[in-house]
Amino acid sequence: MLGKTAGGLFWMARLLERAENTARMIETGQRIALTRAGSGADDWLSVLQAAAVSQGYQEKHGEVVPEQAIDWMLRDPDNPASVMAVVAQARANARLVRTALTHEAWEAVNSFWMLLRDALARKIPIRDLPKVLSLIRERNALTRGAILGTMLRNEIYDFIRIGTFIERADNTARILDVKYYVLLPSAAAVGSRLDNVQWDTILRSVSAEGGYRMAVGPDVTPMGIAQFLILDKRMPRSLNFCCAKLRDNLNYLASDYDLRLPCHQLADTLCRRFMSHDVTAIFDYGLHEYVQEVLGHLSGLSHQVEIDYRFYG
């Protein structure tokens, strides 16, 4: 396979995952806005931060206004990380690697882009927001389904999965990074309702409020959340889960090519982090520092994959 093709697959998958995550962040923000009084400007700011698009927003708009924040994340042409822009880039990557995709997978990505382009042609009134967000969720699910159901389990698939899990781990880690302070024991000691809303936000940001109840129980605690999002092996967006999948897919490549490369070493090191820690140890070490390191590690790994599999030359 061409190095460029591997890169295109990797990025197509990352960007599709990113679009879904951003859409979920909007959903979370909207949910908080509906369940509490006040302007909600702070909540939207942290949503923008968790989606890593706050800097551009503030440069353009300054003050955080919910409608503008939503438009920014969904479709503002000045935001290169808007859902629209990200899906367009994902589709451009799919077009680049067209020969590596099945007909179904390509058509799923292409029709996702076409539908979204129509749906986001104009600013979305708040009352239509749920419809647009569910379109994004459904189309992403359809695309994932087409990939899962029609693609051969070979190197092409591996690069797609590697992209997906790097992005997903990165997203979860970023949410933890932006919100770590509400999980700190000192904050929990306050025990106010406000903190519960914040905790709820975190769980919703990763579509985990139902899963948490099922896996951990009805009591939401900071320790429980951290344990669930970092270490739980059943949770498909936890760092542990994503990194294990990441390593698995890299290992498939290694055995397929009969060649272990520096990125495999990095993936192993990353995964060991989750074996050797329990959640109290992480808190003792410093949640913030820990998450920062994971983020750094993920970006290093992503870069190493690019080099090892010659994405760019």
List contacts with another protein (CB under 8 A): 1-6, 92, 95-96, 98-99, 103, 106-107, 110-111, 114, 155, 257, 259, 309-310, 313
In angstroms, what is the minimal distance from the CB of 253 to another protein? 8
In angstroms, what is the minimal distance from the CB of 310 to another protein? 5
111 versus 292: smaller Cβ distance to another protein: 111
In angstroms, what is the minimal distance from the CB of 159 to another protein? 8
82 versus 198: smaller Cβ distance to another protein: 82
Cα separation, 43 vs 29, whole angstroms? 7
For 174, residues 6+ apart whose C-beta sits below 8 A from its C-beta are 50, 52, 295
Query: How wide is the angle at C-alpha 242 spanned by C-alphas 240 and 244, nearest 5°?
Result: 65
In angstroms, what is the minimal distance from the CB of 90 to another protein? 14
Length of the chain: 313
For 184, residues 6+ apart whose C-beta sits below 8 A from its C-beta are 222, 283, 287
114 versus 121: smaller Cβ distance to another protein: 114
Cα separation, 187 vs 110, whole angstroms? 46
DSSP assignment of 122-176: SPPPGGGHHHHHHHHHHHHHHHHHHHHHHS-SSHHHHHHHHHHHHHHHHHHHHHH
In angstroms, what is the minimal distance from the CB of 222 to another protein? 42
Amino acid present at 298: L
In angstroms, what is the minimal distance from the CB of 105 to another protein? 12
99 versus 265: smaller Cβ distance to another protein: 99
In angstroms, what is the minimal distance from the CB of 100 to another protein? 9
1 versus 271: smaller Cβ distance to another protein: 1
6 versus 32: smaller Cβ distance to another protein: 6
4 versus 277: smaller Cβ distance to another protein: 4
CA dist 76 to 41, 54, 115, 188, 230, Å?
19, 13, 17, 37, 32
Residue 193: how many CA atoms within 13 Å on its side-chain side?
2
Token pair in block for residue 216: 């951990």
Cα separation, 303 vs 149, whole angstroms? 29
